[in-house]
Amino acid sequence: MRTRTILAAAAAPAALAAILLGTAGQAGAAVTPSAHAEGTIQLTQHDDSDFSGQNWALDNITQHQVITNIQQDQTGYSYTVQYDDHGTFTTQVANYVGSSSTVAIAQGAHGVMDATGTVTVTGANQIPDQKYLKSLDGSSPGESAVLAPGGQITSWNYDYHYKIPGTSFVAEQSNTVNTP
């Protein structure tokens, strides 16, 4: 089931496809059920796509993650990731394609963004930790590979906020994705 609510204001109504980054990392022999891990990752020049799939911006993000509810069974690890993103973006195109309209934006404009979210993962072959996060600093890994290496994302809830200061461009996106 997928529910999406988007509010945006610009020269015309707009919406913003959010990037979601998370993590998963090395397993430790002493991990017990309900243990937790946390860490911070720096992602630079990370592609941010809009509803058409075009890379509308490059993001520079600091993401802090807390991983809880870690459990292991015969299929691998399951856990919950809660994250906070803070960063900047630079637009790469002259038009942002939203869910219901296209909005002109200044190419090369700089903006600020922040986000929060929660992801539930099952069947992963690694447990998130700071060592793994640090190995990804400055890269642009795919969300599925980072959040659920060898596993599956079973739910994904997030809120993203983007703004280009000095303009009317503000985009907020909330999303809930549940997969069987």
pLDDT, tens digit, for every residue of 33-66? 556 788 888 888 888 887 788 899 999 999 888 9
**pLDDT of 28 over the 80 cut:** no
Using the predicted structure, report yes or no on whether residue 103 has a pLDDT greater than 90: no
Mean pLDDT of 3-13: 33
Residues 6 or more apart from 161 whose CB is under 8 A from it? 113, 114, 115, 170, 171, 172
Q: Residues 6 or more apart from 53 whose CB is under 8 A from it?
A: none
Q: How far is CA 1 from CA 94, 95, 155, in A?
A: 33, 30, 10
Backbone angles phi, psi at 40, to 5 degrees: -130, 140
Return d(Cα 89, Cα 45) in angstroms, integer.
Answer: 8
- Tell me if residue 130 falls in helix, strand or coil: helix
Placement of tokens 């993203």 in the chain:
160
Read off the pTM. 0.70
DSSP designation for 19:
P
Cβ pair 15, 47 in contact under 8 A: no
User: How many Å apart are CA 130 and CA 117, to the nearest integer?
Assistant: 19
- From its phi and psi, is residue 129 left (phi > 0), alpha (psi between -120 and 50) or beta? beta
Higher pLDDT, 124 or 12: 124
Mean pLDDT of the chain: 74
The Cα–Cα gap between 91 and 35 comes to: 40
Type of residue at 178: N
Cα–Cα distance measured from residue 136 to residue 133, given in angstroms and rounded to the nearest whole number: 5
